[in-house]
Amino acid sequence: MVLAVDIMFVNKIPYLVSISWHIKFITVEMNKNKKQATLVVALKQIISIYQKGRFKVTDVLADNQFECVRGALVDLGACLNIAAAAEHVLEVEQYIRTIRERVHSIYNSLTFKKMPTRLIAEMIYTEMIYTSVYWLNSFSSESHISSTLSPKALVTGLKQDYHNH
């Protein structure tokens, strides 16, 4: 399994975003900061999700800011591949743009004229991000490894209940 990872900022709050190459399963983890210890904990959580689904993460594609976690990834059995200095990991950048677009469309559909800044930063955006990722993981497409099973079903084994959702 190859993962592409990057950090997305929403209202100065960092979110670690990852996507697997062939399955297209997206994960998002809100982080307190961009320090090595925080990134290692988040990456361990992401890798454990794939391990529970019986997948082995072998490679992680990232920007230069992830160089500090190389040793921890080796301990987890994954190889870190860093993009060139002026380049980004395009696979994850595309999904970050998709997540942002969906969050903006949800936010703009709210009926409130003004909301407290803290409410927007901590609750509204975080919930919108997780909701967007939930629905992106719930449906398969032609670019996924399976045209019948969603990325969520492939990795976690949970299928969408269309009567409830």
pTM for the whole structure: 0.84
Q: What is the pLDDT of residue 49?
A: 92
Among 69, 63, 68, smallest CA distance to 83 is for 63
**71 within 8 A of 40, measured Cβ to Cβ:** no
Question: Is residue 156's pLDDT more than 90?
Answer: no
Per-residue pLDDT tens digits for 62-101 = 998 899 999 999 999 999 999 887 778 888 999 899 988 9
- Pull the structure tokens for residue 84: 């060139």
Per-residue pLDDT tens digits for 97-151 = 998 898 888 878 877 777 777 666 666 677 888 888 888 888 877 766 777 788 8
**164 within 8 A of 134, measured Cβ to Cβ:** no
Whole-number Å distance between alpha carbons of 136 and 147: 14
What one-character-per-residue DSSP string does the chain give? Answer: -EEEEEEEEETTEEEEEEEETTT--EEEEE-S---HHHHHHHHHHHHHHHHHTT----EEEE-GGGGGGHHHHHHTT-EEEEPPTT---HHHHHHHHHHHHHHHHHHHH---S---HHHIIIIIHHHHHHHHHHHHHH---TTSS-SSS-HHHHHH-PPP-TTT-
Q: Which CATH code is given to the segment(s) 2-156?
A: 3.30.420.10
Question: Is residue 19's pLDDT more than 90?
Answer: yes
Q: What is the pLDDT of residue 38?
A: 93
